[in-house]
Each structure stands twice: as C-alpha cells, then as structure tokens.
Amino acid sequence: MSMNVGVIGAGQMGSGIAQVFVQAGYDVILHDVSDTQLKAGYDRIARTLDRTVDKGRMTRTEADAALSHLRLSGSLEEIGATELVVESATENETIKRKIFTDLTPLLAEQTLLTTNTSSLSITRLAAMTDRPERFMGLHFMNPVPVMQLVELIRGIATDAATFRSIAGVVERLGKTASTSEDYPAFIVNRILIPMINEAVYALYEGVGNVTSIDVSMRLGANHAMGPLELADFIGLDTCLAIMNVLNDGLGDTKYRPCPLLVKYVEAGWLGRKARRGFYDYRDPDSGPVPTR
C-alpha cells in the first residue's frame, strides 16, 4: 500500500500519530499553522526515535528510514492532496470545524478524512465536508507510539469501504482496533474521564488527599497511574472539555464536571504541560509535589 498521509496538528498527539505512520512506511506530511509547533513536533519525533534506538527496539538505519518518510508543511493545499488525512488539532469543535471547512475545497477526489477527536460527534464534523461517507473517527491513545489501542468510530454516513480501509491502516500500524458507536466520548473516555472526575470529587469533598487517592487506585485497583496523576498527564483542560461534552450530549447529572476541576482550569493549572495541576512539577529536584 503506497497511501500518503497528511496529519494536521503537530502537538503531542499529532506528532505521535505522524511517528507511527512513518515507522510503518507511510509517507507523511505533518502540518501545523504554527512554524514553532511544527519544528517542535519534528524534534519530538526525532528524540523519540533516538530513545527507541538507545533501548535497542529499533536500529539506527530503521530510525533514519522512518524519519526520511516525514515532511513538514504549513500548507493545507499539500494536506488536501494526500490520500488520507488525520486531523489532530486541539480538542475544540469550533477549531476542528474550521479546519474541515477550509480543507474541503482543497481535497483530492479520493482523499479519506479522519479525526482524532477524543469525544466530539463524528457525524457533526463530517457534515462540515463534501464527503461524510468517507469520514470517520480514528482515535489514538496517548502516548501514541506506546499505546496499543485505536478507536474506530463511524459517523451516521460513513460507508463500509471507508471503514475497511481505515481498519486496514490500523492493522498495518501494528495497533489493535476497537469499534465504537458515535456517542459522546466513545468508549475509553466515556468510562475513563468520569472516573477521573469522580476522583476530583473525592479530593474536593475531602475523602482523601491527592497522594492517598492516587496510591489507593494504583495499589488497590492495580492502575498504572493514579487518576489525578493521569489527569495531569492528559491535561485538565482536556478532561474538562470531555466532561462538558458528556454533560451536554447526554444530559445526565452524573457527568457534571467537579467544581474543583473547573477551578484548576480557570487558574491555568492544566497539569504537566503547565507544570502545575494536581501536582506541582516546577522543581525537577523534588519531583512532582501534590498541590492538595
């Protein structure tokens, strides 16, 4: 298969997606509106490949070959000419809708469209384009090079040929696909983010402090990370956005975002990327320090 791929968004998710595609031998154009973000995305991919070589999981020749499949571009026109587009911009429906509106007139006839949204309606985003039958959700987990799962989500109009093509792509990437219906937050985040929100409620109500809640879930439920540590890793703004999607889309009070989560986001304490969230990451010598 010689499919070439356009990835929109060079942040942590977009660069990770670009990396797994080039490692699988796809030619990838990575796009971002910010040249700084684009350069940072490329450097992130190069560093990750270097670490993979250092760990003996890939040869230097294989890493160099993967990187040779990657090209950077600030042009949406170049993305439109690819055969498969993976949109991985920030989890904001207004931004995503604008991307697909701007991209649609530039698309080649055969191009398949996918979005890496973690919670938004595939059907609604597809309606922004001229090809809802060739549009679907392709939701990778973070960090993309490490995590095995990819959620496949059909919109109401997605045709069978598109689904088969994208399922084949996931297989070539060496990932495992799960199929979800197009309901708010799909499967993983429908279950995961309310669990995180409940952990924030436990903190808010004084059931336990940050350390006791995370230790309890790591050792008592055998989770790899505590829910508050995981929230910091995901980004508290992303967690809040997904809770709002669930709350708005399903209308059940159990999806009401915890006021403490809202407060942290209002403070700009968004987790690791802001160096403060439920933990304070500003002093590398002391390591993460609980903020409550």
Query: Is residue 2's pLDDT more than 90?
Result: no
**What value does the mean pLDDT of the chain take?**
97
Query: Is residue 1's pLDDT more than 90?
Result: no
The whole-angstrom separation of Cα 35 and Cα 32 is 7
pLDDT tens digits along 53-98: 999 999 999 999 999 999 999 999 999 999 999 999 999 999 999 9
CATH fourth-level superfamily of 4-180: NAD(P)-binding Rossmann-like Domain (3.40.50.720)
- The catalytic site residues sit at 118, 139, 151, 189
Query: Is residue 131's pLDDT more than 60?
Result: yes
- H/E stretch holding 267 reads helix 259-267
Query: Is residue 17's pLDDT more than 70?
Result: yes
Domain-wise residue ranges, the chain: 4-180, 189-290
| Residue 263 three-state SS | helix
Query: Is residue 178's pLDDT more than 90?
Result: yes
- 135-140: strand order across its sheet: 70-73, 27-31, 4-8, 84-87, 112-115, 135-140, 149-154, 176-180
Q: What percent of the chain has pLDDT over 90?
A: 99
In this structure, what are the phi and psi dihedrals at residue 267, rounded to the nearest 5 degrees? -80, -10
pLDDT average, residue stretch 34-62: 97
Strand partners, 151: 139, 178
pLDDT tens digits along 233-261: 999 999 999 999 999 999 999 999 999 99
Dihedral sign (CA 178, 12, 17, 163): positive
Query: How many Cβ atoms are within 10 Å of 93's Cβ, its own excluded?
Result: 16
pTM: 0.92
Q: Which fold has domain 189-290?
A: N-(1-d-carboxylethyl)-l-norvaline Dehydrogenase; domain 2 (1.10.1040)
